[in-house]
């Protein structure tokens, strides 16, 4: 989160566009900037189960970062055309096609307004218009933050559908939860996955390579990201924010 | 694209906020019909507590639509004297009635002359190509 935020601040000063792909060292839940967590997810239970919870600066709803690939895009707001959210989703579609996945964008009629209780729904419970779906089910969830002339878009592409893990963090969850690895294999209706689409699970590296190829198809001069001293310093200064429980559990 | 509603009696910023001046030195602030249309379905509005000092053109809150979180910029400097209490439960009011029930904050304007830097309805219409 801190490095993505730092890249946003760099994009405010430069014309640089960056795509990052990454995986998480252990299953972690991220929630949206404004999403209500207090009374929805059980902080003590998450701690007992050893599942870190972080709050993104971007919008959207809760995601389990377990069997998925996370991406971030940072850019000046105007660098990706008049509709940057759609431009990034088309980049993802290109990458997915390179993996052999026939995905599409959900029609605008899929628009959802997660008011009230629905705001607590997981990200993958429903596809909004413009999000990436296969067979009508959500494969990638994305959310953006536009701040002072730059944007940060976060997204998650499911390799396997392990989003059911979220239900174990609700206060009324009955589980004595087994190992997290067990939860990875729970079938969840409503979400798609790369395994379901391909009949196999690509590695994080496969997905990252496909995304990089899609970037190079648009910009042959694209170069690998180098985290220089200044970027590292900025990220370090922001790290405390995202590690602070008063941010994570602020509402 | 449907034509945007741009009331003639309000002042506007290039960031798509409006200012509705009252006789008591306060003003209501909201986002324009054009802005809510561009953002799409609003799902959350984060506003500052009453008593907060806001600076012209600086961020005073954020607004989340289905696709993105965006900054809210103050049209003029002043102090927040009221926030719209309905938006926490009914953020969609910003979509359905941006100039009425979907107002965001009311501020006590620090310098009445600051309004001179804002756009009238005709200039705002030109700015958005309406």
pTM of the shown model: 0.89
> Has residue A182 got a pLDDT over 90?
no
Residue A60: closest CA among A150, A125, A142, A162: A142
Give CA angle at B92 (B46, A152), nearest 5°. Answer: 50
Tokens of A149: 């002339």
Tokens of B33: 């019909």
Q: What is the pLDDT of residues A79-134, one digit of tens each?
A: 999 999 999 999 999 999 999 999 999 987 655 555 444 455 688 887 888 899 99
Q: What is the pLDDT of residues B16-31, one digit of tens each?
A: 999 999 999 999 999 9
Residue A185 pairs with which residues in a beta bridge? none
Alpha carbon of A241 to those of A5, A54, A118, A235, B53: distances in Å? 11, 10, 27, 10, 23
Residue of B nearest to A131 (CA): B67
Residue of A nearest to B38 (CA): A83
Catalytic residue among A63, A123, A132, A191: A123
**What ipTM does the predicted assembly reach?**
0.87
Query: What one-character-per-residue DSSP string does B51-118 give?
Result: T-EE-TTSEEEEEEESSEEEEEE-SS-EEEEEE-TTTTT-TTHHHH-TTTTT--EEEEES-GGGGGGS
**Main-chain phi, psi angles of A22, to 5 degrees:** -155, 165
User: Residue A178's pLDDT is what?
Assistant: 39
Q: Any residues with CB less than 8 A from the CB of A68 and at least 6 apart, and which?
A: A23, A156, A157, A158, A159, A160, A162
**Using CB atoms, which residue from A58, A115, A129 is nearest to B92?**
A115
Distance CA A214, CA A218 (A): 7
**Using CB atoms, which residue from B40, B41, B68 is nearest to A145?**
B68
Q: Is A168 one of the annotated active-site residues of the chain?
A: no
Cβ-based contacts of A151 with chain B (< 8 Å): 68
> Has residue A156 got a pLDDT over 80?
yes
Cβ-based contacts of A34 with chain B (< 8 Å): 43-44, 46, 62, 64, 69
């Amino acid at each position: 989160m801190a490095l993505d935020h730092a890249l946003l601040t760099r994009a405010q000063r430069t014309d640089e566009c960056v795509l990052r792909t990454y995986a998480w060292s252990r299953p972690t839940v991220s929630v949206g900037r404004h999403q209500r967590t207090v009374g929805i997810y059980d902080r003590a239970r998450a701690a007992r189960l050893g599942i870190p919870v972080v709050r993104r600066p971007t919008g959207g709803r809760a995601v389990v970062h377990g069997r998925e690939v996370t991406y971030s895009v940072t850019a000046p707001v105007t660098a990706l055309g008049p509709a940057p959210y759609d431009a990034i989703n088309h980049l993802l579609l290109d990458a997915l096609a390179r993996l052999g996945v026939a995905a599409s964008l959900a029609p605008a009629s899929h628009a959802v307004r997660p008011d009230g209780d629905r705001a607590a729904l997981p990200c993958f419970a429903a596809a909004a218009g413009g999000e990436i779906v296969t067979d009508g089910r959500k494969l990638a969830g994305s959310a953006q933050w536009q701040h002072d002339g730059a944007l940060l878009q976060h997204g998650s592409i499911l390799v396997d559908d392990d989003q059911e893990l979220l239900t174990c963090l609700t206060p009324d969850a009955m589980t004595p939860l087994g190992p997290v690895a067990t939860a990875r294999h729970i079938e969840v209706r409503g979400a798609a996955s790369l395994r379901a689409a391909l009949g196999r699970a690509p590695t994080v590296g496969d997905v990252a390579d496909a995304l990089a190829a899609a970037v190079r198809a648009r910009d042959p001069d694209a170069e690998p990201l180098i985290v220089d001293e200044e970027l590292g310093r900025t990220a370090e200064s922001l790290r405390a924010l995202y590690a602070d429980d008063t941010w994570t559990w602020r509402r | 694209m449907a034509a945007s509603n741009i009331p003639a009696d309000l002042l506007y910023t290039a960031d798509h906020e409006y200012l509705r001046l009252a006789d008591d030195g306060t003003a209501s602030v909201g986002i324009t019909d054009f802005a809510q249309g561009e953002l799409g379905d609003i799902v959350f509005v984060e506003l500052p507590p009453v008593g907060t000092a806001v600076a012209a053109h600086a961020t005073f809150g954020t607004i989340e639509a289905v696709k993105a979180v965006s900054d809210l910029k103050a049209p003029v400097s002043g102090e927040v004297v009221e926030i719209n209490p309905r938006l926490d439960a009914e953020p969609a009011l910003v979509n359905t009635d941006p100039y009425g029930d979907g107002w965001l904050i009311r501020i006590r304007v620090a310098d009445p002359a600051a309004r001179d830097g804002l756009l009238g309805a005709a200039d705002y219409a030109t700015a958005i190509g309406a």
